[in-house]
């Protein structure tokens, strides 16, 4: 029988609570790492992705020789790193003669590999190669627009899978409401062919339009690159069903003696017990009692004086 160890220190307990499953999950962290051999272009790509995901990414700069995501047993180190860093998305870069400038983007479920997409990087342009007004540079951690242009994202299976992975990689934390003034960046993904996607990063410039909603202009700030889909691996049906499970919405607890009306709004009932005034004990020095005693004393004195006058007259 296995012994379950519970944390003794508060710091450890709080850290475990952060990693525990939640009904509303926080933003997904990204793990960025590389293989034994990389190129200058690939190192720049990994650095640019880390810069774009700053605050929600972990970068490993050491070379890893035992990571092969598409091979059986080659994902053990990835799952270990995912568990240690609490990252649910990873970007793995490698370079070889057969697959130059190779990127593997994958998602994790319960710290196990869920699905994989392998792309090749072509026509890469870094942020430094773009000239623009630095005042419109996107802020770190801001929420982006993501646009997917082209019919391939709806018809081609490889591009549909790539769209899902890129959406999880780039969107950041999921929120219900957002301020329009805080939107300052956009990722534009254009399907050029059945296996190639052009990805670029743009800044949003707000201009007057004569209405309440401002007119937006896109200014390319980089990086930009062509992503050529090479291999991809979808999750099996059982794992997909397990990952897609959602917690049922807990019913609201009924509040007693409270009802809502379309006109009057929320109406509440207050219970007041019967007040038994007759059984209440009055204090000895009550003003009413003093007055009654005073009146009774004066009455007795008047009666006594009248009797004394009659006796004297007789």
pLDDT at 310: 59
Domain-located, residue 144: yes
pLDDT at 284: 59
**What's the pLDDT tens digit per position in 54-82?**
888 999 999 988 899 998 888 899 999 99
pLDDT at 25: 66
Domain-located, residue 184: yes
> Rounded CA gap, 51 and 300, in Å?
102
Domain-located, residue 58: yes
Confidence class for position 302, pLDDT limits 50, 70, 90: confident
Domain-located, residue 180: yes
Q: For the chain, count helices (H), then strands (E).
A: 7, 11
> Rounded CA gap, 105 and 32, in Å?
9
188-192, 254-258, 264-268, 275-279: segment of lowest average pLDDT: 275-279
> Rounded CA gap, 104 and 116, in Å?
7
15 pLDDT exceeds 90? no
Confidence class for position 100, pLDDT limits 50, 70, 90: very high
Confidence class for position 249, pLDDT limits 50, 70, 90: low
Which structure tokens are listed for 111? 């710290």
**What's the pLDDT tens digit per position in 262-292?**
787 888 888 888 877 777 766 655 555 566 6
Give the CATH number, domain containing residue 45: 3.40.50.10480
pLDDT at 234: 92
Mean pLDDT of 98-123: 93
Full domain range(s) for residue 225: 26-232
pLDDT at 167: 93
Average per-residue pLDDT in the chain? 85
**What's the pLDDT tens digit per position in 226-247?**
999 999 999 988 888 888 877 6
- Its pTM surpasses 0.85: no
Mean pLDDT of 109-117: 91
Domain-located, residue 209: yes
27 pLDDT exceeds 80? no
**What's the pLDDT tens digit per position in 122-160?**
999 999 999 888 888 888 878 899 999 999 999 999 999
312 pLDDT exceeds 70? no
Percent of all residues in the chain with a pLDDT value above 90, rounded to a whole number: 40
Confidence class for position 314, pLDDT limits 50, 70, 90: low
List, in sequence order, every beta strand (DSSP E) within the chain: 30-34, 57-63, 89-94, 102-109, 112-125, 145-149, 185-191, 196-207, 215-233, 258-261, 265-268
Percent of all residues in the chain with a pLDDT value above 70, rounded to a whole number: 88
pLDDT at 286: 55
Confidence class for position 92, pLDDT limits 50, 70, 90: very high
Instruction: Look at the chain and report how many structural domains it folds into.
Output: 1
Domain-located, residue 146: yes
Domain-located, residue 215: yes
pLDDT at 198: 96
> Rounded CA gap, 269 and 272, in Å?
10
Domain-located, residue 305: no
Residues 6 or more apart whose Cβ sits within 8 Å of residue 257 = 268, 269, 270, 271
């Amino acid at each position: 029988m296995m012994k379950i160890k519970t944390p003794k220190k508060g710091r450890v307990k709080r850290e475990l609570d952060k990693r525990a499953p939640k009904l509303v999950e926080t933003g997904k962290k990204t793990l960025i790492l590389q293989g034994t051999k990389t190129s200058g272009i690939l190192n720049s790509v990994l650095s640019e992705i880390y810069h774009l995901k700053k605050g929600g990414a972990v970068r490993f700069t050491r070379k890893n020789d035992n990571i092969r995501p598409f091979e059986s047993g080659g994902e053990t180190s990835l799952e270990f790193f995912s568990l240690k860093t609490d990252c649910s998305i990873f970007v793995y870069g490698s370079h070889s003669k057969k697959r130059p400038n190779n990127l593997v983007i994958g998602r994790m479920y319960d710290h196990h590999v869920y699905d994989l997409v392998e792309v090749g990087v072509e026509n890469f342009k870094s942020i430094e190669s773009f000239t623009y007004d630095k005042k419109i540079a996107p802020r770190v951690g801001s929420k982006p627009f993501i646009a997917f242009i082209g019919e391939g994202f709806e018809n081609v299976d490889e591009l549909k899978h790539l769209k899902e992975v890129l959406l999880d990689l780039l969107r950041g934390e999921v929120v219900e409401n957002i301020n329009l003034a805080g939107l300052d960046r956009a990722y534009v993904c254009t399907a050029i062919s059945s296996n190639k996607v052009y990805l670029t990063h743009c800044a949003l410039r707000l201009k007057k339009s004569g209405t309440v909603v401002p007119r937006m202009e896109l200014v390319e700030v980089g990086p930009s690159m062509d992503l050529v889909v090479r291999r991809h691996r979808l999750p099996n049906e059982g794992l997909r069903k397990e990952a897609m499970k959602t917690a049922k919405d807990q019913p609201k607890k009924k509040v007693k003696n409270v009802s809502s009306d379309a006109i009057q709004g929320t109406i509440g009932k207050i219970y007041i017990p019967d007040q038994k005034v007759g059984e209440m004990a009055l204090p000895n020095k009550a003003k009413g009692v003093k007055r009654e005693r005073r009146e009774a004393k004066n009455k007795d004195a008047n009666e006594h004086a009248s009797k004394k006058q009659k006796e004297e007259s007789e």
